[in-house]
Chains A and B, each alone.
Chain A
Amino acid sequence: MTVYKTEKKVQRLSPFRGGLNANRAAWLFIAPAFFFYGAFVLLPMAMSAYYSLLNWDGIGAASFVGLTNYITVVTDDDLLQIIANAFRLILYFTVLPVIVGLAVASVIRNQMSGRFGTVTRTVLFIPQVIPLVAAGIVWSWMYDSNGVINQLLGFIGLENWTRGWLGDFTYALPAVGLIGTWVLLGLCMLLLVTGISRIDASLYEAAKMDGANAWHEFRHITLPGLRQEIGVCVTVTIIQALSSFDIVYVATSGGPGIETMVPGLEIYRLAFAHREVGLASALGVVLMLLVLLIVIPVQWFTREKQ
């Protein structure tokens, strides 16, 4: 027994410890995670790529059509508008939360400690915690022709502005977008506030000595200092905008017309209501690539230089 133990110890301490033995152990440790990832992500990704080359109703025989589905995705007016809608949502999911978050963060800077800070954090995080479906339902009611928005407009004497916001061709998309703003603002704001509290306070004092005004302070200290946090907000929210589904499904189902239709919901509709599996898969592949194409440069620009 003792001999065996010593032998093992020697083996472990030898230069070969990290060799074959560790390698095999590593693969055994990774295997379960890789199994689930492979079976339920990589395999469907490959199937998606394959389906996208087919004309298939999901039931009968499929026929190979090459890149026809992709050509449809990039030439069909409706599909192009649907993809454009996702990009328009970025204004509400990303740009608004980041701008408001930056404004609030630079005004309050170090005010988030103590009980006030805790209450603020808790309240602003509630939209992050509830299901997006619930956010959609809550806001459908806010936008209802009998809802709070119209009630407030009536209250300040703007009765002729009232309308069913989610059914309005002009305002449906902004209305849906603002639900996203409501959900994501708290997260962005708190990320930015946390980030700003890490910026060295002496930088601001030095700037004040030099007679810098608020804008200079923001432009030359706050903005560069928050580079990484802004990158995080932008990345997370852009992914949410481009792959939005839950909110739109509940609030408008893509209507009126296709004013608020987004790629995620269109994939669902094409695949399961219209049985155009090939086209749905092609749109899925395009969506996946679009997200990567946008997120990678954002990451690259905002990474901290080392």
Chain B
Amino acid sequence: MTQIFQRAWVGKGLILLLMALTLLPFLSLFTAALAPGGTYPSGIAWPEAPQWNNFVRAFEVADIGRMMVSSLIIVLGVVPLAVVIASMAGFALAKLVPTGRKWLYLVFVLGLTLPFESIITPLYYEIRALGLLNTRFAIILPLLGLYMPFSVYWMRAHFINVPQDLSEAAQLDGAGYWREFWYVQIPLARSSIMSLSILLFLWTWNQFLLPIVLVQDPAKRTMAGALGAFQGQWGTDVPLLSAGSLIIMAPTIIIFLIFQRQFVAALLQGAVKG
């Protein structure tokens, strides 16, 4: 018995230590954000006169309001459409058995491990040829393509486990493939779609490479891309940079805390299926 108790305490201690290590950097950033602007604060030290004003200043300097709107537009341009077209393709690959399905599926899955950097160079010239550099389409369109391997894989994995009887029942009722998809299959796929949407939201919001290569204006980038620009510009003013970084991280962390259960489930499943 004592052995089991000991083990429980060692485990709890280990976890508390890891939690502390996870949070320590944020705490350090927070105290640095409260130091007087333009000074060089040190590690973790509560400043004598906390400058809460730094947060206001960072918000204005980085134009964070506009950055959030921009990120939101990009997310809205990517996530719903990606989810719908990936569901359609996943459904077709699982249930409609097109000829050449094996090859088609393989072609999609091939993209699962593709590092974005491997195609960033031609992507730049392609987007330039389309005249879309420096627009939000330069981020939205490539992401729609880049998300397809994972999204199609994910939705197919869901549809393949839906009993075939369901399709047959729907078709006996006279529903065509399109009606069956929208009114029978999609409502049943709600939890898979929810998880996929969460993952795509996170990946889009945090996407960094595409914005810095394809969009010059930070006000048209994603949050992460804008943070890169902010660091480039204000990297030497530690308190301001710290305050700005915290504000830029805040929305994801807040949304994460609200939907904590769904996020953790999505990320764990996402890793397993990916």
Contacts and interface: CB of A to CB of B under 8 A. Distances in A.
B46 interface: no
A171 interface: no
B193 interface: no
B125 A267 contact: no
Contacts of A268: 117, 120, 209, 213
B49 interface: no
B253 interface: yes
Interface in B201-251: 202, 205-206, 208-209, 212-213, 223-224, 227-228, 231, 238, 241-242, 245, 248-249
A264 B10 contact: no
B123 A40 contact: yes
Given A39-B145, A133-B224, A232-B271, A239 B263 contact: no
B42 interface: yes
A40 B144 contact: yes
A284 interface: yes
Interface in B169-220: 171-172, 174, 177-178, 181, 202, 205-206, 208-209, 212-213
B89 A187 contact: no
Nearest to A284: B118
Residue among B86, B123, B272 facing the most chain A CB atoms (10 A cut-off): B272
Classify chain A: how many residues form its interface, as a range.
35 or more
A109 B116 CA distance: 37
Of listed B29, B113, B178, residue having the most chain A CB within 10 A: B113
Contacts of B151: 33
A167 interface: no
Interface string B1-35: 00000011011101100110111111011001000
B152 to A, nearest CB: 6
A5 to B, nearest CB: 7
Interface string A99-126: 0100110011101000010111111111
A58 B208 CA distance: 23
Interface string B81-119: 000011011011100111101001001100101111111
Chain B residues touching A, range: 35 or more
Interface stretch (A20-28, A75-83, A88-96): A20-28
B89 to A, nearest CB: 4
B122 A51 contact: yes
B263 to A, nearest CB: 7
Nearest to A228: B272
A12 B173 CA distance: 11
A260 interface: no
A190 B228 contact: no
Interface of A: 5, 8-9, 12-13, 17-18, 22-23, 25-27, 29-30, 32-34, 36-45, 47-48, 51, 58, 100, 103-104, 107-109, 111, 116, 118-134, 137-139, 141-142, 144, 146-152, 182, 185-187, 189-191, 194, 229, 232-233, 235-236, 239, 242-243, 245-246, 249-250, 263-265, 267-268, 271-272, 277, 280-281, 284-285, 287-288, 291-292, 295
Interface of B: 7-8, 10-12, 14-15, 18-19, 21-26, 28-29, 32, 40-44, 85-86, 88-89, 91-93, 96-99, 101, 104, 107-108, 111, 113-126, 141-142, 144-146, 148-149, 151-152, 171-172, 174, 177-178, 181, 202, 205-206, 208-209, 212-213, 223-224, 227-228, 231, 238, 241-242, 245, 248-249, 252-253, 256-257, 260, 263-264, 267-268, 271-272, 274
27 contacts: A18-B97, A23-B99, A30-B88, A33-B151, A37-B108, A44-B122, A47-B122, A48-B119, A58-B125, A125-B260, A126-B23, A132-B206, A133-B227, A137-B29, A137-B231, A141-B238, A146-B43, A148-B25, A182-B22, A190-B268, A236-B274, A243-B116, A263-B117, A264-B115, A268-B120, A288-B115, A288-B118
Given A26-B93, A30-B93, A263-B117, 15 more contacts: A116-B12, A127-B22, A131-B249, A133-B227, A137-B245, A138-B26, A144-B238, A146-B41, A148-B25, A182-B21, A243-B118, A249-B212, A271-B120, A285-B118, A291-B115
